[in-house]
Chains A and B, each alone.
Chain A
Amino acid sequence: MSEHDSTDRTITSLPLSSEREVEWTHVLVVVEGASAGERFVLGRELSIGRDPTCDVRLVDRSVSRLHCRVSLAEQRALVTDNGSTNGTFVDGVRVQDSTVLKPGALLQIGDHLLRHDVCTTAEAAREVELAQDLRKAREYVAALIPAPLARADVRIEWAFQPCAALGGDLLGYHWIDDARLALYVLDVCGHGAGPAMHSASVFNALRGQTLPHTDFAAPAQVLSALNQHFAMERHGGMYLTMWYGVLEPRTRRLSFASAGHPPALLLEGARSTRLATKSPPIGVSEGRRFTQAQAEIRAGARLWVLSDGVFEFTSSDESVFSLDEFERGLLETPRSSPSDVQRALQGRAKRGVFEDDFSMLTVSMGP
């Protein structure tokens, strides 16, 4: 046999994948509930409950402090209820004492639903890493939002909650000069890291006022410039909706423009006025010209700028909440803060979960 033959020989001694020793890992994945998307590797035992000391802490009023525990012995997972008030359920059946949790089984604890997954240790590590990356991205996005503003002449508050899959919402405000404030809520369509990164790019262009030849005090110009710079063909097919306003606190005058975005609501006494200019989303229609409109925010009035995640969610009774209902609710409780409204709506949402990012910014004027 020649030297060439010996090196070119087909190797047949590699172990087949089924013969390799595979290490399995058991994971609890939160598939529904306020902590949806989180993953917990099951070592020997995981304690689950509302208490901060629990390995799996579920912020959910229907969950007991030390609700239940899941233990693993010889590749078999066992759920034990700790005498919880509302019970622990496996595939819909209440756990009396302890029950085996088979791979793929669903564990219901309060408004949370967790799935028992078994995967290779390498897969589990990758999934945990991905979940951590998503959490970091969520934290980065939230950190971009400026602190609330509390001045005698103008007050800005907000509520922001990214959904489990991380959407493309962002909200903010900045001073254009000493006299004028820019206010904005934007929503890149889609979920995941891509839309979140796109949203951060647009946000930074606004906050840094880096769009060339653009007067940031002219809302229609800002939307036109964004439309030119963020065309979906050049940005992975992503587009965004947006509401952008410029407020001069001294005169209380507001100029605004919107693109494919829900109207802002200007609440004054028992009346709500919807503020929007009808234009398609940013990035979908090259060369599009945008228009703007004016309003006045009088003393005692309050402007609510929001994303569609605030009212597009499924209620506990399976009906879909709507902008009309949201508007009615605001008129009934005009003094509520954005955080109050967020809590109230979360209480109405099915399993306490918003299906999309929740973004809401309010502006009220001093006397």
Chain B
Amino acid sequence: MNLRVLEAPPTQVHVALDGRLDTAGVDAIEVKFNAAVVARRKDAVVDLSALEFLSSMGVRMLLLAAKALERTGQRMVLVARGPVISTALQHSAIDELIPVAQDLDQARAILAGGRP
């Protein structure tokens, strides 16, 4: 399980996850993820495109981070392509709480669209 912090505009954070975001994957990156995404207090784009698998524990990590950002007035947008991750997001209905974009441009457009 890997987390990469990518270049982003000054008001945003952009991270990409790859591997299996299951219980072991969450154990491996949760602290790093929260440090990179939640602690920065910026809008965040979390790219899940390279994830092979997203379990309920992975969904939990994303949801708790999104809720933490929400409490300080920031938003999280997910980038997800491919049926495996999209199906996991739909089953958990997490896509009703965290916006899901098809690519980075769409994610940034959602963030630029302001807060609901």
On chain A, the residues within 8 Å of B53 by CB distance are 320
Task: Give the number of chain B interface residues (Cβ < 8 Å).
Answer: 20
Query: What is the interface of chain A mostly: helix, strand, loop, or mixed?
Result: loop
B94 cross-chain contacts in A, Cβ below 8 A: 260, 280
Q: Is A259 a contact partner of B23 (Cβ separation < 8 A)?
A: no
Does any Cβ of A come within 8 Å of B55's Cβ?
A: yes
CA distance A356 to B64 in the complex (A): 19
A323 to B53, CA, bound (A): 13
Q: Name the residue on A nearest B56 (C-beta).
A: A308
Q: Give 28 CB contacts A-B under 8 Å.
A: A187-B56, A189-B59, A190-B57, A191-B23, A232-B67, A241-B56, A260-B91, A260-B92, A260-B93, A263-B91, A276-B91, A279-B96, A280-B94, A280-B97, A281-B63, A281-B93, A285-B97, A308-B56, A308-B91, A312-B22, A320-B20, A320-B22, A320-B52, A320-B53, A323-B91, A355-B23, A355-B55, A356-B55
Checking B20, B60, B93 against A278 with a beta-carbon cut-off of 8 angstroms, the contacting residue is: B93
B90 touches A189 (CB 8 A): no
> B30-68: which have CB < 8 Å to A?
52-53, 55-57, 59-60, 63-64, 67
Contact (Cβ within 8 A) B67 A284: yes
Q: How large is the interface on A (under 10, 10 to 19, 20 to 34, 35 or more residues)?
A: 20 to 34
Give the docked Cα–Cα distance between A190 and B22 (Å): 12
Binding site for B on A (CB under 8 A): 187, 189-191, 232, 237, 239, 241, 259-263, 276, 278-281, 284-285, 308, 312, 314, 320, 323, 355-356
In the complex, which residue of chain A has the Cβ closest to the Cβ of B87?
A323
On whether the beta carbons of B60 and A190 are closer than 8 Å, the reply is yes
In the assembled complex, which residues on chain B have CB atoms less than 8 Å from the CB atom of A263?
91
